[in-house]
């Protein structure tokens, strides 16, 4: 029975992704973000459970990527679609956290730009497919993991809804900014950048100092900056991984 526990947790991730898809399509982007976050939590604990129970399997690896494809691939693409549609119509409603159906339909009828958002979904699929066959990503990542990328994209509507003002909204709903973020996101997913994984083989601070430091700084940023901290945390993750890898290479030379 215990060998099925990680798979059940992975399926909970997939369920959260399915619910998030529904909310994203309905333009309930705050709820979509909530279920994506919940799915990412399940995604973290399925791997942890598999290692603790010694229940790793090829089925679990494939199922995990399929669940991530929905939660961290399809949903961010839909959310970016909605944001690009809003940028074309100015249909963002701060009180409801949504764009009206008429505004969205009008944006689609006059522009193909919103569909550009699904480049994130395509890049996520390519990244997950590579991950499944890449033996170099067993203990670390090459390119930004899809859950981290999903948090980056989902942070935009959360900032607009909870911390938005005319200046912030003007930037975040600028079509050029959103198109640029889409390209950057798609690039980072598949860039050859080694990034450390938040996988703890033990709880020793010595063996996991870079992970603990990253988590502590991230927590401080979240407590002080709320949703605006999320893009900064993603940038911190990339920079700290680069610095960590440089340090490891120097240790090997000495």
pTM assigned to the model: 0.87
Distance CA 60, CA 48 (A): 12
pLDDT tens, residue by residue, 183-209: 999 999 999 999 988 876 667 777 778
In a domain, 18, yes or no: yes
The CATH number of whichever domain residue 217 belongs to comes to 1.20.120
What's the structural domain count of the chain?
1
In a domain, 193, yes or no: yes
What average pLDDT does the segment 49-73 reach? 83
In a domain, 254, yes or no: no
Beta-carbon contacts of residue 101 (< 8 Å; ≥ 6 apart): 27
Structure token digits, residue 230: 């999320």
Q: State yes or no: pLDDT of 93 exceeds 80.
A: no
Q: 80 or 140, which is more confident?
A: 80
Domain of residue 68 covers 2-249
Distance CA 243, CA 169 (A): 33
């Amino acid at each position: 029975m215990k060998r099925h526990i990680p798979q059940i947790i992975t399926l909970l991730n997939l369920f959260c992704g399915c619910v998030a898809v529904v909310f994203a399509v309905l333009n309930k982007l705050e709820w979509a973000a909530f279920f994506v976050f919940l799915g990412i939590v399940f995604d973290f604990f399925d791997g942890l459970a598999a290692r603790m129970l010694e229940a790793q399997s090829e089925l679990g690896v494939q199922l995990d990527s399929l669940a991530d494809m929905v939660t961290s691939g399809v949903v961010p693409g839909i959310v970016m679609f909605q944001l690009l549609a809003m940028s074309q119509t100015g249909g963002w409603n701060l009180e409801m956290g949504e764009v009206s159906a008429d505004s969205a339909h009008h944006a689609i009828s006059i522009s193909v730009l919103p569909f550009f958002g699904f480049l994130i979904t395509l890049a996520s699929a390519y990244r997950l497919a590579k991950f499944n066959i890449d033996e170099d990503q067993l203990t670390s990542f090459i390119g930004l993991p899809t859950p981290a990328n999903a948090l980056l994209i989902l942070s935009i509507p959360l900032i607009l809804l909870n911390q938005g003002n005319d200046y912030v909204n003007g930037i975040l709903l600028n079509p050029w900014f959103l198109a640029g973020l889409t390209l950057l996101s798609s690039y980072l997913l598949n860039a050859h950048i080694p990034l450390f994984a938040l996988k703890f083989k033990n709880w020793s601070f010595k063996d996991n100092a870079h992970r603990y430091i990253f988590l502590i700084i991230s927590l401080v940023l979240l407590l002080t900056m709320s949703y605006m901290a999320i893009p900064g945390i993603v940038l911190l993750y990339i920079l700290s991984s680069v610095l960590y890898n440089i340090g490891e290479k120097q240790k090997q030379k000495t």
